[in-house]
Amino acid sequence: MRERAECFHPLLRVIFTDALPDNHQPILSINLQDWHLPAVPSPHNLGGRVTVTGDAAHTMAMYRGEGFNHALLDDYYLTTAIEKIYDPAVPDIAEDIAAVQKSTIATFEDSARRRGAGAVKMCRDASFEVHEYETLSEASTVRQKRIL
Ligand SMILES: Cc1cc2nc3c(=O)[nH]c(=O)nc-3n(C[C@H](O)[C@H](O)[C@H](O)COP(=O)(O)OP(=O)(O)OC[C@H]3O[C@@H](n4cnc5c(N)ncnc54)[C@H](O)[C@@H]3O)c2cc1C
């Protein structure tokens, strides 16, 4: 990094020359990977008693500005699902609330997974695109509509 930063403006180069002492600990490489909810129901949801929303459900690179939008949508759909579980007007609920909870949260997770998995992939594609200025075009993923 120090070699690569030799041509930088001194104010920026100093980040690479002064941030770490010469005798620093080994630098670790962090492998980035896509994350979205796995198969439905997610293995750790304890029959619909535990679930996740937002970045915990689908972590997106920021290049399409989508993550917060999905987090809001997740919370809206989850709230709606929870209201349905406790709706006394629904006849099944009095019989077996645990079963209703399990299937309602599984349905929520299924929709969050499908929407999130697509968005995670588009955000990843977009993050590669924006680092290749020459190949950016109107058709690039970074310019396409959100999956919402
Ligand atoms: C640079 C950047 C630009 C972005 N731009 C956009 C954009 O333009 N449009 C858009 O839609 N999205 C954008 N995003 C994505 C958006 O910020 C996230 O998707 C969104 O904040 C996710 O919300 P969240 O509630 O799931 O998670 P977070 O906002 O990360 O909230 C999680 C909270 O949990 C807290 N926490 C963590 N661990 C613990 C613990 N053990 N105990 C207690 N609290 C804990 C954290 O401190 C944090 O406050 C951007 C993200 C980045 C990084």
Tens place of pLDDT for every residue, the chain, 148 residues? Answer: 888 899 999 999 999 888 888 888 888 888 878 899 987 667 778 989 999 999 999 999 999 999 999 999 999 999 999 998 888 777 666 568 888 899 999 999 999 999 999 999 999 999 989 888 888 888 888 888 877 7
Q: How far is CA 6 from CA 11, 17, 18, 19, 21, in A?
A: 11, 9, 13, 15, 17
Token pair 């939008």 is at which residue?
A: 69
Ligand 1, pocket-test mutation among 51, 60, 62, 147, most atoms within 8 A of CB = 62
Q: How far is 4 from 16, CA to CA, in rounded Å?
A: 9
Q: How far is 80 from 55, CA to CA, in rounded Å?
A: 19
| Pair 41, 10 in one domain | no
In single-letter form, the type of residue at position 31 comes to N
Structurally, how many domains does the chain consist of?
A: 2
Question: In this structure, is residue 23 part of a structural domain?
Answer: yes
- What pTM was computed for the model? 0.82
| Pair 16, 68 in one domain | no
- Domain range holding 82? 33-143
In single-letter form, the type of residue at position 105 comes to I
| Pair 22, 95 in one domain | no
Task: List the beta bridge partners of residue 43.
Answer: none
Token pair 């099944």 is at which residue?
A: 92
Assess whether the C-beta atom of 35 lies below 6 angstroms from ligand 1. no
| Pair 25, 38 in one domain | no
Gyration radius (Cα) of the chain, Å: 22
| Pair 67, 12 in one domain | no
Question: In this structure, is residue 148 part of a structural domain?
Answer: no
Question: In this structure, is residue 55 part of a structural domain?
Answer: yes
